[in-house]
Structure 1
Amino acid sequence: MSIVTEPDADFAAYFAGQVSSVRRIAYALCGDWHTADDLVQMTFVKLYPRWRRVRDGSVDAYVRRILVNTYLSHVRKHRREKVVAEVPDAPARQADTHEDLSQALRRLPAQQRAVVVLRHLEDLSIADVAEVLQMAEGTVKSQSARGLAALRAAMSRSVQPREL
């Protein structure tokens, strides 16, 4: 017979309610569902031992901070790795705008991508993003502006027809 304590039940309920949202953020950060699943798992593994202290506070912000820090650590460890199914003969044209945007997002530097995802996908305020990433609000603004400019440029290039 298994005895579930109140904190464990609270954690399980929080996990069930938030895992899909955290997974979506993780995918937006890394652009790969397998890596996103790993990041989500590591995030909740890191959250569990601290659950009793943070469950009455701002848990969502704490989880976002863990996720972004885990993602940035992952990027630093695997900076030069790029896994592909097979080597392409020639660059293929992506017709899907969602794919173009996803690729453009993956080309942003890791911290800039984190700012853009938290600010514009998660719709956090500048102050909230600054708190999660532990940076100045001015840095959030400049990183967001640079990231959006890079995304706009990439999307405008992907819309223009290419000569064969």
Structure 2
Amino acid sequence: MSGPFAQIANQATTAASNKTAGSLIGAATVAPKLYDFSVSASGSPADNVIIYTLQRSTVDGTGTTVTPTSISQSPGIVTPIAALCTTKSNYTAEPTYTAGVVIWSQGINQRSAFRWVAVPGGEVVIPAIAAAGLGFQVKSAGYAGQCDVSYHWLE
């Protein structure tokens, strides 16, 4: 195991249809385990519902690649550990999602934030298959501002 990692992602413009705010894309050499995520909106406060969805993907889309942050380092090691997974933010072309495989979906008031933490052994595991991943999607009929997601995983 190479250690825990963190990523912050967003979708700059929320729409009435699903848009991917962030993703965690595995590799053939590792089966990452998502153990923590939080979602929120950072636009002007109003009473709108935003629907957040966590879904499995099989083919990545087009988004901004972001470098994962290593949460912990081994004693005496100055260089942070590099993640084997890829992460992206603010998608402009959607990934291909596995039909009918929604892991989590929740409508949340725009003024609220939500955090999920897995019980030990209850992590969401991405299989060690190239291009397999997870995507955090957002949609809202009444809110068009930025939605944010922060997530943590083990490799």
Q: TM-score range by the shorter chain?
A: under 0.3
More strand by share: 2
Higher RCO (C-alpha under 8 Å, 6+ residues apart): 2
Rg (Cα) greater in structure? 1
TM-score, length of structure 1 as denominator length? 0.21
More helix by share: 1
TM-score, length of structure 2 as denominator length? 0.22
